[in-house]
Amino acid sequence: MSGNKRHTCVFGLGWGDEGKGKVVDLLCPGFQFVVRFNGGANAGHTVYVGKDKFALHLLPAGVLHDHVQAVIGSGVVVDPTMLISELDALARRGIDAGQRLRISDRAHLVLPYHKIEDQLSEGAAKPGAKIGTTARGIGPCYADKMRRTTAIRFADLAGEADVLERARRIVEARKSAFQSTYGNDGGLNADDVALELKNARERLSSNICDTTALLHKADRDGQAILFEGANGVLLDIDHGTYPFVTSSSTGPYGIGPGAGLPDSVVTHRIGTAKAYSTRVGSGPFVTELKDALGDRIRDRGREFGTTTGRPRRCGWFDAVACRYSAAVSGATGIALMHLDTLSGFDEIGVCIAYRVDGRTLQSPPASASLLERAEPVIEFHPGWTEDLGGVSSLEDLPENARAYLR
């Protein structure tokens, strides 16, 4: 049993982009370890330190605090070139994150053929079947993880003498498969893959370790661990709006496979959500506003993706989806972000149910086609005009804003 009652997980209750990085940054002073346990470079956490903006994709947001040990767990798929680039970018700004980073030897590497497969697959899909992937190779890498024989882990990079030769064999097989399926091999080159692996071995070998043992020791020693989720529960491979999802377990239940500690050690599960809804890429979005209201929310909230720069789709808060994701994840608290974005709206909508095929639903159906046809049942609340920028307590919020929160 854990002797520490302070372990906390911060995760998204929506489709990502809920402000997890900001919450992690605020909480970091109370933690010695910050752990990424899922996803890959498809995540984008934006953190401001004073006026300095940091956009992180693989490194936990907590790495910006110099007392924090940053950990990339076994459930993360790591693009080594992007990770090295992130570390170098921080070093140029005076942050030596590499000394405080540990990478699980069980984590898998995202290599060029994964990204090429992502691009070829999405490019070949019919418009209605496009997943809206970030093309960062995440799904193909997780697929290789499940295939087993075509996967390369950091343990292989550190200890397997013939890993470069094995990578060459994988590349040749993948080129042939691409040619057969898509009519071209995407420019895949075995020498490029070998060079990436050599660079990764040279630059990251000192960071590779058994992070499961590291975290179990930290737990026994009474050190506080903050688990940092990527993406959001509505993008979860099992519980999200399948197939328009990511390829990992995005909620606190992903901590076991993704970090090696049982999720029962986590006392506080903080789900992040926006005061409205957003989504990037394809997939059903019941409350989406495809009009001037949606444009206004996007502009006021600066809703453009950290990872891709794509404009986010915007809509009213979806209480149906949020109730579901909070229940699935066992959220013990919610950090509601971007309430200030809604200042100045005469009225603000909340979706309280779905209506589809003559039925009223209080929970999201598993079928994406049903969700696509669903219409939101919207309850409108009076808005407020006050600027919330200087508000630091619940009591100082305008009455209508407090009523909206309730």
The residue type found at 66 is D
pLDDT at 128: 66
Q: Report pLDDT for 271.
A: 98
Dihedral (Cα; 240, 245, 246, 248), 10-degree rounding: 30
Res 359 pLDDT > 80: yes
**pLDDT value at 3 more than 80:** no
The pLDDT of residue 235 is above 90: yes
What is the spatial distance between Cα 151 and Cα 357, in angstroms, rounded to a whole number?
Answer: 44
Q: Supply the pLDDT for residue 341.
A: 96
pLDDT at residue 5, as a whole number: 63
Q: Is 188 within 8 Å of 175 (Cβ atoms)?
A: yes
Q: For a pLDDT cut of 70, what percent of the chain falls above it?
A: 97
Q: Is the pLDDT of residue 348 over 60?
A: yes
Residue 2: what pLDDT? 47
Instruction: List the catalytic residues.
Output: 17, 45
pLDDT tens digits along 44-78: 778 887 788 888 999 999 899 999 999 999 999 99
pLDDT tier at 4, thresholds 50, 70, 90: low
> pLDDT per residue over 5-43, tens digit each?
679 999 999 999 999 999 999 999 999 999 999 999 988
Is residue 179 within 8 Å of 131, Cβ to Cβ? no
Mean pLDDT along residues 351-364? 96
CA angle 214, 220, 224 (to 5 degrees): 80
Nearest alpha carbon to residue 400 among 274, 273, 289, 275: 275
CB atoms within 10 A of CB 353: 18
Cα–Cα distance, 199 to 11 (Å, whole number):
32
Judged against a pLDDT cut of 60, whether residue 335 lies above it is answered with yes
Residue 129 has pLDDT above 90, yes or no: no
Most confident of 88-92, 104-108, 121-125: 104-108
Better-scored residue on pLDDT, 43 or 303: 303
Look at residue 283 in the predicted model and tell me its pLDDT: 94
- pLDDT higher than threshold 70 for residue 307: no
pLDDT tens-digit series, residues 184-196: 999 999 999 999 9
DSSP string of 125-158?
A: S-GGG-----SSSHHHHHHHHHH-TT--BHHHHH
Mean pLDDT (the chain) is: 93
Least confident of 12-26, 115-129, 271-285, 318-332: 115-129
Interval 215-228: pLDDT, tens: 999 999 999 999 99
Q: How far is residue 215 CA from its own chain's centroid?
A: 21
d(CA 44, CA 377): 31
Residue percentage of the chain with pLDDT more than 90: 87
Would you say residue 1 has pLDDT above 60?
A: no
